[in-house]
Amino acid sequence: MHKFTTRKEYLIISLLWLFFQTLWYFYLGVEFGLESLKYIREAQYFIEHHHFSQSRYLFYGTTIFIIAFANTLHLGLYGALLIIMAINLACYIFFFKALKGFFENNIPAFLVVVLLMSFWPYQSWSLYLFTECMFFSMVLLLFGYLLKMKGKALTSQVSLTMAFILFLLIISRPLGILFVLPTLLFLFFKLSRRQRFYFLVSGGIFLILLNFVMQVVFTTTPDWNMTRALTEDSFICDMPRADAKSQLDLTNHPNQFYQLFYYVTHNFSHFTGLAITRLKYFFLMVRDYYSTFHNLYLIVYLVLFYGSLVIGGRRIIKALPKGLNWFFASSIILFASAIALQCDDYHNRFFLTLTPFFAFTTVICWWETFKKVSFSKRHKD
């Protein structure tokens, strides 16, 4: 397999993608309702008025722009979905190319891709006209680009490309902002001592940008704010358990982050109780409203992901550049912190964002083991 030409490799990736897309299509179908409706309506509004009805829709812009583009060309919703799916395939091919370069072998690269495509809770989002498909595709693009940086120097062109990818992530979903700091940490280890001053400046810009994005999203969403999940005792977003507002010490300060800070510092025991349960939902993924088969399916993948981290943790850390280790660790910490402070998603979308990292580390664990065993056998012979 490792002797395949590049063209044949891309053909195999395309055929694998088509196979799994077809499989999940017959199993799940496509979805143009539910959450899709607000992006479809916003795309029509954008066509008619040439701007968004609310500023927050900028942070879901890639999907909205594609729907608007498809409607303008009379391609319809299926046309928009096909464009989004084509982008997903292109990002997979780019990701595969980056994996192949990192491993210097196409077998582990294929394994990572198959792990992702076969995990239907992750890949099935490419059949929905939600923002997740574009967001997950942009995560593959960012991750792939970081892998391609192995052994390469940081140049102005690289910095601009990375900034552009982060921009695409942020306008795909607001959660994209959480990848800015991990990317800066990745770059930190490629900087000279003099250049690290720019890292501190970039860190300050990140905090300002984070505050801006959160202010726009939470203050222009009619049915949501940063403390709603806390006052409703929610573990899962939009699933309130009780009205705890009267029992909590809260502030009406206009800044959403200050409201959150005030809540945590004045209601710490309430916060820790919620946070622990939310993190359990986040990392374990299983739900009481899922079928037994669905939960068992998730558990099998989680045992594979987490088991590989436990068994091969040291090998994984040694196999990765320091910057990539920091990128992974900080991404997981930031996403987990966001869940602890807010709530987990009904369909695990926050955890699924990180699935490419877990698939990658799983393959590293067993590939490094395979190489050691293979080397030992050859050495004995």
* C-alpha distance from residue 192 to each of 181, 186, 195, 326 (Å): 18, 13, 5, 17
Compute the distance between CA of residue 262 and CA of residue 271 in angstroms, rounded to an integer: 11
| Residue 344: strand, helix, or coil | strand
- 343 alpha carbon, distance to own chain's centre: 16
pLDDT digits (tens, 9 = 90+) for 161-192: 999 999 999 999 999 999 999 998 998 888 77
Sign for the CA dihedral angle at 160, 139, 219, 225 comes to negative
pLDDT given for residue 67 in this prediction = 97
How many CB atoms within 10 Å of residue 127?
20
pLDDT tens digits, residue range 22-41? Answer: 999 998 888 888 889 999 99
Interaxial angle between packed helices 76-103 and 61-72, expressed in degrees from 0 to 180 and rounded to the nearest 10: 130
Q: What is the pTM of this model?
A: 0.90
Integer CA distances (angstroms), 20 to 77, 123, 124, 301, 368, in order: 21, 8, 9, 17, 27
Residue ranges for the chain with pLDDT beneath 70: 1-4, 217-225, 244-246, 371-381
- Domain spans of the chain? 6-380
Question: What pLDDT score does 1 carry?
Answer: 44
Q: How far apart are CA 139 and CA 48, in angstroms?
A: 31
Q: Are 232 and 243 in contact (CB under 8 A)?
A: yes
DSSP 159-193: HHHHHHHHHHHHTT-GGGGGGHHHHHHHHHTTS-T
